[in-house]
């Protein structure tokens, strides 16, 4: 089946999400407001978090991935700092801009507060500075209508939302930027092959081999690749489209990112290695260059799952022992790599808008 046919069949055979109409109205109003009040405003559509694959129509069980939405939620804050209005299409209950600093902390949220002598609830002194800064940024974004939060859960909901939102961004033209940080499922169960009710464990057939336990065998179909259609049909002409490529093998990262860029014809693939994604990424662009963005060693945050020895392992031209500090000499423990990624993207996007290279 041709790609266009598989895409058309996907949308025709899967039900339109019930919330889509409400989301479309919100996005239409958001875009109209910014286009009318400040035509030079840039709008970033940031997608974030994982997508579920339901196993039943009345979903009890589903397939999921590990994404908590850290990259997307953090990046949205830095896009706002760069002057963008942000549509944040996120997995429901994943990390959100601003609240991420406290909602998924290793501390209970209540640990940030205490009772005053007068019986009021106040923020503990040691958290006052950070919470005030976060609150100020959040209130600014809210007051100026710069952040629109739209939740999804399943891969089907995500794809319906993406198609619709890209179309609604047409009035923004080249000032639109798509930052596709969501971890989208590669496989799904077609509606006509899905159980309506909860799959019963008592109904699973025993394995064929003697002594083998019961098994649940699931056949999954590939989700059609929509990125080419996003580039050629849905997104505004001249808009910038950025996707992510996550790999676990350092030897494959750059080549896989290059393949994705050539296959889908968008603007930038940001490659990241699972074990070093909090410290380094690589920008792969149409000019064939790979540009590495790294947090200097002295400013890297700690990571339970990260392997710092692998930093630089995926680069074709191995980095020198002396690292380049892109932070302007700022001394800050636990520097977030998104604080380096987003300004770089904003510069490239502005060059696109201005007709630069």
Among the listed residues 144, 167, 185, the one whose alpha carbon sits nearest the alpha carbon of residue 236: 167
Q: What kind and span of H or E run contains 13?
A: helix 3-13
Q: Which of 67-81, 85-99, 187-201 has the lowest mean pLDDT?
A: 187-201
For 224-261, the pLDDT digits (tens) are 889 999 999 999 999 999 999 999 999 999 999 999 99
**112 vs 324 pLDDT, higher one:** 112
**124 vs 323 pLDDT, higher one:** 124
**Would you say residue 333 has pLDDT above 60?**
no
Q: What's the pLDDT at 210?
A: 45
Residue found by looking up tokens 């990241």 in the block? 272
Torsion of CA 348, 352, 355, 357, to 10 degrees: 50
**Would you say residue 137 has pLDDT above 60?**
yes
DSSP 8-state class, residue 127: G
Partners of 46 in the beta sheet? Answer: 88, 179
How many Å apart are CA 227 and CA 224, to the nearest integer?
Answer: 9
Separation in Å, CA 172 to CA 85, 212, 238, 239, 349:
11, 59, 10, 8, 13
CATH code linked to domain 3-112+123-196+218-353: 3.40.50.10300
Q: Please compute, for residue 143, the number of CA atoms within 13 A of its CA located in the half-sphere on the CB side.
A: 6
Q: What's the pLDDT at 317?
A: 66
Neighbours of 58 (CB within 10 A): 10
Q: What's the pLDDT at 178?
A: 98
Phi-psi map region of 203: left, alpha, beta (phi>0 left; psi -120 to 50 alpha): alpha
Helices 128-143 and 70-81, packing angle to 10 deg: 70
Partners of 275 in the beta sheet? Answer: none
Q: Which residues contact 317 (CB under 8 A, 6 or more apart)?
A: none
Q: What is the mean pLDDT of the chain?
A: 89
Where b means 16+ CB within 10 Å and e means fewer, 193-210 reads ebbeeeeeeeeeeeeeee
- pLDDT bin (cut points 50, 70, 90) of residue 60 is confident
Structure tokens at 224: 């059609």
**Would you say residue 80 has pLDDT above 70?**
yes
Angle value at C-alpha 171, between 339 and 357, nearest 5 degrees? 55
**Would you say residue 41 has pLDDT above 90?**
yes
Phi-psi map region of 325: left, alpha, beta (phi>0 left; psi -120 to 50 alpha): beta
* Cβ-contact 300, 279 below 8 angstroms: yes
**318 vs 170 pLDDT, higher one:** 170
Partners of 63 in the beta sheet? Answer: 53
**Would you say residue 138 has pLDDT above 60?**
yes
**333 vs 161 pLDDT, higher one:** 161
Q: pTM (2 decimals)?
A: 0.90
Segments making up each domain of the chain, as ranges: 3-112+123-196+218-353
210: helix, strand or coil: coil
**Would you say residue 2 has pLDDT above 90?**
no
**Would you say residue 91 has pLDDT above 70?**
yes
- pLDDT bin (cut points 50, 70, 90) of residue 302 is confident
**Strand pairing category for 147-152 and 221-222:** unpaired
- pLDDT bin (cut points 50, 70, 90) of residue 356 is low
**Would you say residue 139 has pLDDT above 80?**
yes
| Arithmetic mean of pLDDT, 185-204 | 83
Q: What's the pLDDT at 326?
A: 46
How many Å apart are CA 314 and CA 337, to the nearest integer?
Answer: 17
Q: What's the pLDDT at 215?
A: 80
């Amino acid at each position: 089946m041709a790609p266009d046919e598989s895409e058309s069949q996907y949308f025709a055979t899967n039900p339109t999400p019930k919330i889509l109409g409400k989301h479309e109205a919100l996005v239409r109003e958001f875009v109209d407001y910014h286009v009318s009040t400040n035509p030079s405003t840039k709008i970033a559509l940031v997608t974030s978090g994982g997508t579920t694959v339901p196993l039943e129509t009345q979903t009890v069980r589903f397939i999921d991935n590990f994404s908590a939405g850290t990259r997307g939620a953090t990046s949205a804050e830095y896009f706002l700092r760069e002057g963008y209005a942000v549509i944040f299409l996120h997995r429901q209950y994943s990390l959100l801009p601003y609240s991420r600093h406290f909602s998924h902390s290793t501390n209970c949220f209540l640990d940030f507060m205490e009772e005053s002598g007068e019986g009021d609830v106040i923020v503990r002194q040691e958290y006052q500075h950070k919470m005030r800064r976060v609150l100020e940024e959040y209130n600014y974004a809210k007051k100026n209508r710069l952040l629109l939060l739209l939740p999804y859960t399943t891969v089907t909901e995500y794809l319906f939302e993406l198609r619709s939102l890209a179309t609604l961004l047409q009035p923004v033209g080249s000032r639109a930027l798509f930052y596709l940080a969501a971890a989208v499922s590669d496989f799904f169960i077609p509606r006509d092959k899905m159980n309506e009710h909860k799959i019963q464990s008592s109904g699973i057939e025993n394995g064929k081999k003697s002594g083998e336990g019961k098994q649940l065998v699931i056949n999954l179909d590939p989700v059609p690749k929509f990125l080419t259609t996003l580039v050629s049909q849905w997104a505004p002409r001249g808009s910038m489209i950025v996707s992510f490529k996550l790999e676990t093998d350092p030897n494959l990262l750059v080549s896989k990112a290059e393949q994705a860029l050539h296959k889908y014809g968008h603007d930038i693939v940001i490659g990241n290695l699972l074990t070093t994604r909090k410290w380094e990424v690589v920008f792969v662009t149409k000019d064939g260059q790979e540009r590495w963005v790294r947090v200097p060693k002295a400013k890297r945050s700690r990571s339970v799952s990260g392997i710092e020895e692998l930093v630089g392992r995926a680069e074709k031209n191995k980095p020198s022992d002396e690292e380049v500090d892109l932070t302007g000499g700022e001394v800050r423990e636990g520097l977030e790599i998104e604080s380096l990624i987003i300004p770089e993207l904003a510069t490239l996007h502005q060059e696109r808008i201005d007709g630069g290279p």
